[in-house]
A and B are shown apart, each in its own frame.
Chain A
């Protein structure tokens, strides 16, 4: 996983609550194993009915085409657990999502991929949204995970909270499976204990 320390870039405002993963990364009928994650991101929202680009969609506007930070509302990433909804962000250069809150599975998928999920809460979120809207892509913001601060035009730095463990994992780009495999002996001894206490859990055989 690519470590995350800080990101400076344009912040794009997509100010809506409950944006779901069907919207972020729709299942398209014509698809294959090697998917185009860059084209997948907000595939429908980016297009008009005739298939041409919708110039009004925020990520299609010239000033936001290279946005690295997406700024949004409550409960971002609700719905399906599909990880393509994170991969499609990264494929478009978006490394930070600042939201008022995230859906649980989506936030986990972000952490697995080095995409920083910043939760600002309702009040601070509204203040930051106002600054992002006001600057309209004219100047970049910096989101620094080391100092846990967002800095940029329109006001003073904003401090954000993130659980220490999640921060470390992102900063060091830790291999999640490797972290768990450090406990392989405890996993084996749990299996032995479970086999004694609830043997049916450690065996899934077809009795026929």
Chain B
């Protein structure tokens, strides 16, 4: 029988079928963060249940940590209790924690792949909906709640109903200045915020094959914004080259065996998918959201849509978004004055994201009245960026250069905008109040965010600095 990549990983990891019909899927790598883990530690302690495989479990401090240089446990007072509970829970259970001051601390979805903790063909779980970011290296990852987190700690399996399989074929070659963020926003615009619900999505096609691994992670990161259960890209030579020598990846002879296995991790030629979507990427321009859900997207040269031109099911949401966003139909996106720019989050905080932004702002300055922040996705990314001099470029241009963490993506660490501010953000959710009460978020790529910071209004990076892209 012809099988998809998802089928192959699922079938290998299927331990048993439970009495209630759910498959028990073994989780090879489990990564916790401080916002939810303390509940699970307390639950297991109360039930007298040990952690089954502490050696396959890792933990990070990311959601509540301050980004201010020189930060410690107390810099964000409301994060302090979470940080300390995480430290204690990890100590009690023998779990490797990338703590606030660890040289490899960072956002779970950035840290796990960059250290080689997640691998092609491996299963992965995080109590966070953006778990599938690591699908970019060919891992099958599931976001989960707190009860499921406790379940995985106690059993090392998840009890899941088998999702359906979907393929998104990305054809053509991306133009200069257009990247994975733009592609993902366009897919979500096409199929909607629930378009992939119940499905594991495999991203394929020429546009994906030429994407660097970091961009594949951006693509898979946004999978949840169209409701997908998980998303992944079949690994290839670029993946293997990217993972080689990473500290937690197999080494030596074991690497060679792994590589032989990983080369077979593709969907069979005639494997059938429950759903297929195609997108021609050759004509794509940079994309940006105008509304309050990630499907409310237009090309950067576009205008806020007239609801009459939208599908009927999307009109009510559009009308409600106009009021929140302070926009009227027909307004061009380019030229909208902005107050804030955020470059960071599990979506766009890896080194190439920061390089693109730095190349655009080099020798320029953030516009008057705009507060602009760059928050690297991990302390390793921060160190590498500093070695390349990017921190100096950003600081000279008037950006804040922070310590690594989730920061303004969900504002759980106190980094937020002020009411009424318009913010161009490289994050994943433009929900009402997410980046601060009444903050108006426009999701876009690092290039668009950087260009907008310089211009003081939403801008097309290709016009600001065609040579830099």
Contacts and interface: CB of A to CB of B under 8 A. Distances in A.
Interface in A89-121: 101, 103-105, 108-109, 112-113
Given A177-B150, A179-B20, A105 B143 contact: yes
B194 interface: yes
Interface in A177-208: 177, 179-184, 186-187, 190-191, 194, 197-208
Contacts of B317: 17-18
Nearest to B76: A29
Nearest to B43: A177
A177 B26 contact: no
Contact of B24 (A168, A169, A183, A199): A183
Interface stretch (B205-213, B214-222, B430-438): B430-438
B117 A207 contact: no
Contact of A198 (B146, B161, B261): B261
B148 interface: yes
Nearest to A34: B81
A131 interface: no
Contacts of B293: 18, 20
A186 B247 contact: no
Interface stretch (A63-71, A74-82, A139-147, A149-157): A74-82
Contacts of A86: 145
Contacts of B437: 44
Contacts of A112: 145, 147-148
B94 interface: no
Interface stretch (B67-75, B121-129, B331-339, B446-454): B121-129
A180 B429 contact: no
B429 A75 contact: no
A190 B194 CA distance: 34
B421 interface: no
A29 B20 contact: no
Interface string B454-468: 000000000000000
B21 A27 contact: no
B47 interface: yes
B159 A176 contact: yes
A147 B429 CA distance: 40
Interface stretch (B248-256, B342-350, B366-374): B248-256
Given A81-B128, A81-B145, A177-B151, A33 B15 contact: no
B340 interface: no
Interface residues of A, number: 62
Contacts of A208: 247
Nearest to A86: B145
Given A104-B227, A165-B22, A199 B129 contact: no
Given A33-B38, A108-B144, A23 B155 contact: no
B258 A80 contact: no
A49 to B, nearest CB: 9
Contact of B155 (A26, A82, A181, A199): A181
Contacts of B146: 83
Interface centre among B85, B157, B437 (most CB of A within 10 A): B157
B432 A23 contact: yes
B402 interface: no
Main secondary structure of the interface of B (DSSP, over half): loop
Given A165-B21, A176-B159, A200-B254, A23 B431 contact: yes
B431 A163 contact: no
Interface string B381-419: 000000000000000000000000000001110101000
B21 A33 contact: no
Contacts of A80: 128-129, 410, 429
Nearest to A207: B251
B194 A78 contact: yes
Nearest to B115: A206
A72 B261 CA distance: 47
A79 B430 CA distance: 11
A22 B437 CA distance: 12
Interface centre among A22, A109, A112, A177 (most CB of B within 10 A): A177
Contacts of A20: 293, 429, 431
B145 A199 contact: no
B119 interface: yes
B227 A75 contact: yes
A29 B194 CA distance: 29
Contacts of B429: 20, 22, 79-80
Contact of B81 (A27, A33, A204): A33
B9 to A, nearest CB: 11
B18 A190 contact: no
A104 B36 CA distance: 19
Contact of A22 (B26, B414, B431): B431
B187 to A, nearest CB: 16
Given A105-B144, A180-B151, A22 B434 contact: yes
A186 B52 CA distance: 14
A62 interface: no
B248 A204 contact: yes
Given A108-B148, A179-B159, A187 B15 contact: yes
A205 B52 CA distance: 17
Contacts of A184: 155
Contacts of B145: 81-83, 86, 105, 108-109, 112
A78 B247 contact: no
Nearest to B246: A207
Interface of A: 16-18, 20, 22-23, 26-27, 29-33, 44, 74-75, 78-83, 86, 101, 103-105, 108-109, 112-113, 163-166, 168-169, 176-177, 179-184, 186-187, 190-191, 194, 197-208
10 contacts: A18-B194, A22-B429, A27-B411, A75-B194, A78-B194, A105-B145, A112-B145, A165-B21, A179-B18, A183-B24
